[in-house]
Amino acid sequence: MTGQTLGEPVRHLIVTDSTNSVAMDWANEGAPHGAVVTADAQTDGRGRRGRSWSSPAGKGLYLSLILRPQIQPAQVPQLTILAALAAVQLVEKECGLVAQTKWPNDILLNSHKIGGVLTEADLSGNGVKFVVVGIGLNVNFQTADLPDHPIFPASSLLIETGRGWPVPEVGQAWLREFGLLYAIYDKSGWNSLRDDFQSRCLGLGEPVTVTTENEKYYGIASRLDDDGILIVQTSNGPRRVVAGDVSFDVH
């Protein structure tokens, strides 16, 4: 897949339920690697595990990128990491501010969540048919636009930088950063990006609480493994956080 432009063709919608849903349908109909769906507003923007994503009109980037990578299903989480790292790099380059990721999919600025990634894949048949990487970035959200009672304190580029940013340009910048990272990933694999990600990852080496559907456990967030999965050292030994939410509150 090297050498193909990411970001073409584009479907831009004024309003839709979820750009990820539109992109999944389009990919099923045969959309090529690199195709993108964007919207000015989402009425049913989705987060992980059935959560919702606030998507007011014209205030945020709502973008879903279709990929047809030659990877194994276990590697799909690596694409979430690439997307989060691309957002961190875009904030650094365009806004001149140091952003961070919170594994696996949060984008943080000044300890506030300004964006998130939702990756979905079609794993039917043999291996990975396609992947949809959805990014939501709070660009020009005012305080009143932020969701009520988010699980992590929320903010936006506007609030943190004190000025507005053009959403289409932010989208182009994200695609550019993702494209640069994807070219490295495609050629040299996740291992060549692991240190970059880990250096921007909040809370490595710190105590964490992991909450899954069925249990809650504590440990020290230590590193990311070969699949991009967080390893937590617990009193019973290392555990891979395959699903669940990680919080860095000291218990």
By CB under 6 A, tell whether 116 contacts ligand BT5: yes
Query: Position of tokens 């999965």?
Result: 229
Query: Which structure tokens are listed for 10?
Result: 């584009």
Among 6, 7, 20, 68, binds ligand BT5 (CB under 6 A): 20
Q: How many residues bind ligand BT5 (CB under 6 A)?
A: 28
Q: What angle do CA 238, 50, 75 make, to 5 degrees?
A: 45
By CB under 6 A, tell whether 210 contacts ligand BT5: no
Among 45, 77, 171, 228, binds ligand BT5 (CB under 6 A): 45
By CB under 6 A, tell whether 119 contacts ligand BT5: no
CB of 144 to ligand BT5, least distance (A): 13
Q: Which of 115, 86, 117 is nearest to 104 (CA)?
A: 117
- The one-letter code for the residue type at 139 is V
By CB under 6 A, tell whether 171 contacts ligand BT5: no
By CB under 6 A, tell whether 194 contacts ligand BT5: no
The rounded distance, in Å, linking the Cα atoms of 188 and 75 is 14
CB of 232 to ligand BT5, least distance (A): 18
By CB under 6 A, tell whether 16 contacts ligand BT5: no
Burial of 41 per CB tally in 10 Å (0-12, 13-18, 19+): middle
Taking 3-state DSSP, the helix, strand and coil percentages for the chain, each rounded to the nearest 5, stand at 30, 30, 40
Residue ranges in contact with ligand BT5 by CB under 6 A: 18-20, 42, 45-49, 51, 53-54, 62-64, 105, 113, 116-118, 134-136, 138, 147, 150-151, 154
